[in-house]
A and B are shown apart, each in its own frame.
Chain A
Amino acid sequence: MNIPYTVEIRPDTGLANGKLGIWLFLASEVMLFGALFSTYIILRNGAAEWPHGELSVPLGAINTVILISSSVTMVMAWASLKMNDWAKHRLYLIATFVLAALFLVNKYFEYSDHLAKGEGPWHSTFLAIYFTLTGLHGLHIVGGMIVMAYFIGPGAKLWRANADQFANRIEYTGLYWHFVDLVWIFLFPVLYLL
């Protein structure tokens, strides 16, 4: 039995199933991070004072550059497939994976720096929300890396069997990845700068 519209597009909605599915998933993610940003606003408004300059702006800025670059390589990994350039696709997808790993390494240095000073999440409301937001964002990075690793490794076989479906899956992975980038675009000023 085949599920209709897994690859081909349903005429009246103009969509394949996966495209709508991933966007709905991202919609729920918006609400997840929305709740945490709302928490941030309420805690900050209720605080007697809010710390400034507790985080390293250079490290945060470097991570922003890394994630933005990874978004470019991710969209190129998909565009290469559309142009039938398998070698380039591999290159860009692996590059995205490596950039994601670099992000986490950078994050590890930030975390260990704080913890070495005894400034864990228990230390203040600011650090509590900082560790929670960046930790959850970091888990999303790890999730994205697992999916990418799958498509670099065993998932790559699908390209030969069904090129369109493989390109779709890379597109959906990309949508998720750009969303993770998009969250960071807000996290960086909110936590590091303001």
Chain B
Amino acid sequence: MHSDHGDVHASVRKYFMIGAALLIFTGITVAANLMHLAIPLAITVALAIAITKASMVAAVFMHLSDEKKWIYGALLLTVVFFIVLMSVPSFTNMDSIGRHEPAIGGGEHPAGH
């Protein structure tokens, strides 16, 4: 266990503050959506907010701001492979020989990349 009673008392306030901040960010992301930004900008804003929220959950609620090196190590490895998994299949998909033609039989398939 990582903290004595005094520490936990101090943390309680923090937990509620973070909860409130998360709700505010949810409001912001919905509001940003109402502004109908151009797609690339909208994606950037929404993902930036989501990453901020996720970091707050991970750092405070999951106590990642103060963890042991084995857990950091395992998560670092996971993050590296996560990035590989997210990016490399897409790169491979984009790097195809020649232009994209409808695969079999035609239809409304891929518009360019």
Q: Is chain B in direct contact with chain A in the complex (CB below 8 A)?
A: yes
Binding site for B on A (CB under 8 A): 13-15, 19-20, 23-24, 27, 30-31, 34-35, 37-38, 41-42, 45-49, 57, 61, 64-65, 68-69, 71-72, 74-76, 79, 82-84, 164, 167-168, 174-175, 178-179, 181-182, 185-186, 188-190, 193-194
Query: How many angstroms from the CA of A84 to the CA of B4 in the assembled complex?
Result: 11
What separation, in Å, do the CA atoms of A104 and B79 have in the docked complex? 29
Q: With contacts A20-B71, A79-B8, A178-B62 known, is A68 near B93, CB below 8 A?
A: no
Residues of B within 8 A of A (CB): 1, 3, 5, 8-9, 11-12, 15-16, 18-19, 22-23, 26, 29-30, 33, 39, 42-43, 46-47, 49-50, 53-54, 57-58, 61-62, 68-71, 74-75, 77-79, 81-82, 85-86, 89-90, 93-94, 108-111, 113
**Residue contact B30 to A185, C-beta cutoff 8 Å:** no
Most-contacted residue by chain A among B12, B26, B49, B94 (CB, 10 A): B26
Q: Are B54 and A45 in contact (CB under 8 A)?
A: no
Known contacts A20-B70, A82-B5, A83-B8, then 8 further A-B pairs from the complex at CB < 8 Å, ordered by chain A residue? A14-B69, A42-B90, A48-B110, A71-B19, A72-B19, A72-B61, A182-B58, A189-B47
Shortest distance in angstroms between B68's beta carbon and chain A's nearest beta carbon?
4
A15→B71 contact, CB < 8 A: yes
Q: How far is the CA of A34 from the CA of B113 in the complex (A)?
A: 22
| Pick from A14, A35, A49, A186: contact of B85, CB under 8 Å | A35
CA distance A48 to B90 in the complex (A): 16
Q: Is the interface of A mostly helix, strand, loop or mixed?
A: helix
Please tell me if the beta carbons of A31 and B23 are within 8 angstroms of each other in the complex: no
B85: nearest residue on chain A (CB-CB)? A34
Once the chains bind, are A48 and B108 in contact (CB under 8 Å)?
Answer: yes
A-B complex: 5 closest residue pairs judged by Cβ atoms: A72-B19, A189-B46, A27-B78, A82-B8, A14-B68
- 17 A–B contacts, CB within 8 A, in A order: A13-B70, A19-B71, A20-B74, A24-B74, A27-B78, A34-B85, A38-B90, A45-B90, A47-B110, A71-B19, A75-B15, A76-B15, A79-B11, A178-B57, A178-B62, A189-B29, A190-B46
The chain B residue sitting closest to A60, CB to CB, is B30
Contacts of B50 in A (CB 8 A): 185-186, 188-190
